[in-house]
Structure 1
């Protein structure tokens, strides 16, 4: 479990564990909708969404640790990472209690103490998991990454299956969501510890690591607005639009973004540590060539969606929703644009372009909200919010990559002992 693998084997391990986690997550969602009564399902859904929106933001911790951690044999255990993790734990507990207070006062009929405990367990558990996973990515211990990902998903479905079967209180359902993060860390650590302790160093100190994490977390939070948070924003800005129109577009977005965007999101730490880190900068010609190939593939998928998408939407919804061919084609193309940002962002982080990365995502997130508030018809407004922000954010990333390609010196693969 402590040996590294080649690039092909790495991809297989990571994609397999990501697929397992994704499938088990879908199973949980289907089971919850069928086995829980109305109020319990609402509470479960809100807690699930809250936990995973915050988890999406904290994935920025994993990205920066993956960039900063370098192999260093028989090195003194990193006090920088330990200090950072303890400080971050204090921060996420404060955030968890704040979110719990807001949910208890506005959304969930649950006691603040219990809700605060659930969210604190979830956030702290994911944080330590993200730090360990980041180190494993940095050391390219792909089987360890796969172990943590699969363990987390398997433990969650076991705990929630027991909670569903026993008709547990919503707070116990919340603990079923929260506990697997920390439990998977503890179990994996017993196996992975010998290959990690004293085997890595960070190339930044505490202050720089903290600043970099703030930028990657900010970028991840902005990407969450454009991915997992998009249905919420569309629903919140479309109260007067017929439910059939909103439902059809949301269904198209969810069905297309899951297979196109989610796998790329899951691969970002891999891209940072195995593809972009310590590589020479990409030339202008090569960068635009790669973008051209990606856009050609996106155009082909959009054409396929034009002809097949409306039929598929009608089939899956049993005739409840209908969508025009050009609309679903644009939805698919926009998903490809977001996926491209999930590649250019890691490229910038790997080259220490943290400010440019968060700037690109910030521009895209702000434009998304602004476009959804435009005084135009619903379909035009949503399609504009899907495409224009992603184009703007992608352009910001590409310009920054070109600038760093001209100015950045070549990077050494060695780690600085901090």
Structure 2
């Protein structure tokens, strides 16, 4: 790796990490403002937001494949797939899927205002596909400055619209549009001015048929990721019909609060890590092991802090009804390392083009998590087991896929290190 490559990688890491931190702070600010401003109506907005990001979590698989496949434009004998055509087709498909499936889930999931919330949810799904394709191209072409602006402005526009519309009393539906419109604003403000840099000078390295097959597999894996990350609170609610409502609320709140430092941070850096694994294959194994060690160290330190102060901190933030045992707060933090590990290993597998192993690992993770959460045992115990065991099962699949590929390469070339 040249010194210029190293410098560029470091600069990209700093920019993307800084933008992610700023966006995270902005996201917490939006959540706090809406919770205080909407009161009892916040629950409906939170359900809409959860539904939107479950869809977004699945569609983020498009970003991963675009980031992996984007290369500088070259003359090739076979015309490769276009990011623009892929994005427009996937956006249309996502919107149709949301609309066609809506009778199955809108009345029960979104309540009395569900049908009014369907249009912003549908528009949000379509715009998010375009955003993920654009972000994937930014990762693939190492357009770090544009990407950082892309990440920050998305949250900044949303925060601005919420602050303007909330005092006007627009209600949940109006605020739902405020959550979705920033997708389009960022596309206009960031992507269009950088059109030539992003799209005219780059292309995908596969045909439409191949990229469609790859996207289907990465989307399946991303949907499974959403089950263990953004969708896990919904899984808790679905599997906790006989549990104490106060305990369920406390667990969901603690889950959101304590796992974000490791899980959300690793999730946000997947695009960056993917291009690092793709572009620097000789050092990919060392990078993966270093990240494993870093995540483990962070989890141990944060878990110890959570055991000592976590329960009281949660009570200070949310009230005595949200008190949980210290061991459980520590367990939520500690088990987040397993999710971080599978994200890193999965990204390494995807960078090698191991779409089958990547998808299989995440799908198996989701299945194991669902099975454990349905066991007739205490909520604290089964959620700890699901969050700790399920990602490790998927991690084993990803590692096995990587080892098999390495073995095939060694057989083909004995000098492969």
Q: With the length of structure 2 as denominator, give the TM-score of the two structures.
A: 0.89
Separation of aligned partners in 2, 1:381 and 1:359: 23
Instruction: Decide whether the 8 Å contact of 2:224 with 2:366 is kept in 1.
Output: yes
Structure 2 unaligned residues grouped into runs of 5+: 412-417
Task: Give the match for residue 161 of structure 1.
Answer: 163
Task: Give the match for residue 414 of structure 2.
Answer: none
Instruction: Decide whether the 8 Å contact of 1:53 with 1:224 is kept in 2.
Output: yes
Task: Give the match for residue 113 of structure 2.
Answer: 110
Task: Give the match for residue 383 of structure 1.
Answer: 384
CA 1:97–1:115 in structure 2 vs 1: closer, same or farther (change >3 Å)? farther
CA 1:20–1:93 in structure 2 vs 1: closer, same or farther (change >3 Å)? same
Separation of aligned partners in 2, 1:287 and 1:178: 35
Q: 1:131-280 to 2 correspondence within 5 Å?
A: 131-280=133-282
Query: Which one has a larger percent helix, Structure 1 or Structure 2?
Result: 2
Separation of aligned partners in 1, 2:294 and 2:33: 40
CA 1:409–1:89 in structure 2 vs 1: closer, same or farther (change >3 Å)? farther
- Post-superposition Cα deviations, 1:24-56, rounded to whole Å, max 9, x if no partner, equal 2212211111222534x3332222111111111
Q: Give the superposition deviation at 1:237.
A: 1.4
CA 1:38–1:318 in structure 2 vs 1: closer, same or farther (change >3 Å)? closer
Matched, 1:341 2:342: yes
Instruction: Decide whether the 8 Å contact of 1:97 with 1:119 is kept in 2.
Output: no
Higher relative contact order (CA 8 A, sep 6+): 1
Separation of aligned partners in 2, 1:151 and 1:287: 30
Q: With the length of structure 1 as denominator, give the TM-score of the two structures.
A: 0.88
Partner SS state of residue 36, structure 1: helix
CA 1:331–1:36 in structure 2 vs 1: closer, same or farther (change >3 Å)? closer
Task: Give the match for residue 374 of structure 1.
Answer: 375
Q: 1:18-167 to 2 correspondence within 5 Å?
A: 18-39=20-41, 41-72=42-73, 80-106=82-108, 107-110=110-113, 112=115, 114-167=116-169
Q: Give the superposition deviation at 1:403.
A: 1.7
Between 199-208 and 316-325, report the one with greater CA deviation: 316-325
Please provide the CA RMSD for this pair.
Answer: 2.7
Between 337-346 and 70-79, report the one with greater CA deviation: 70-79
Task: Give the match for residue 312 of structure 1.
Answer: 313
Instruction: Decide whether the 8 Å contact of 1:140 with 1:274 is kept in 2.
Output: no
Separation of aligned partners in 2, 1:239 and 1:248: 15
